Amino acid sequence: MTDTNENALSRSPDEQASGFEAVRTAHQSEMVEDYVELIAELIQLNGAARPVEIAERLGVTQPTVSKNLNRLKREGLILQEPYRSIRLTEEGRELAEACRQRHRIVVDFLVALGVSQEVAEYDAEGIEHHVSEETLAVFHAFTKERAKG
């Protein structure tokens, strides 16, 4: 293989740092995105999103969910009266829809590429937060192309 010089050594410190900074930024929104996405799913599945189910599906304890829901409230993404189930605000619904689309694009892409359905779902959970618009568009185009062929 010819040397296409695509290794990190050829990048400037600034370019390299911006990639790492993007990862740290992504980590800060991951929790919020996972929660609204899951809340939207649970509402669609059950008609309501209850903290106990969020905890079960995320694999964390109820107090952790309770604390994180407070952050979503502060950020205006959900509405919840104490001891009641959760509704999404308009803003929350929009974010959830965007996250669900992105998740779907990543999963469909991995499956189209030959990854098993189970592993695709598993890996997508992590990958989806680190895919730029450019890469997402390429994934989407690839999947559509494969579907035609």
Partner DNA sequence: TACAAAAGTTAGCTTTGGCTAAATTTTGTA
Partner DNA sequence: TACAAAATTTAGCCAAAGCTAACTTTTGTA
Binding site for DNA (CB under 7 A): 24, 27-28, 30-31, 50-53, 58-71, 80, 82-85
Beta strands in the chain (DSSP E): 78-79, 87-88
Helix-, strand-, coil-residue percentages of the chain, each rounded to 5: 75, 5, 20
Residue 129 structure tokens:
């937060």
Tell the smallest beta-carbon distance from residue 115 to its own copies (Å).
Answer: 5
Q: Which is nearer to its own copies, 65 or 78 (CB)?
A: 65
Nearest to 136 by CA among 101, 95, 111, 112: 101
Tell me the torsion sign for CA atoms 3, 109, 30, 57: negative
CB–CB of 87/50 below 8 Å? no
Number of residues that bind its own copies (CB under 8 A): 65
Nearest to 39 by CA among 105, 122, 97, 101: 97
Among 62-70, 74-82, 83-91, 112-120, the segment contacting its own copies (CB under 8 A): 112-120
CB within 8 Å of 114: residues ≥ 6 apart: none
Interaction between residue 104 and its own copies (CB under 8 A): yes
Tell the smallest beta-carbon distance from residue 15 to its own copies (Å).
Answer: 7
Q: Which is nearer to DNA, 77 or 105 (CB)?
A: 77
Among 37-45, 64-72, 75-83, 85-93, the segment contacting its own copies (CB under 8 A): 37-45
Rule CB under 8 A: which residues touch its own copies?
1, 4, 6-9, 11, 13, 15-23, 26-27, 30, 34, 37-38, 41, 44-45, 53, 56-60, 100, 103-104, 107-108, 110-111, 113-127, 129-132, 134-135, 138-139, 141-142, 147
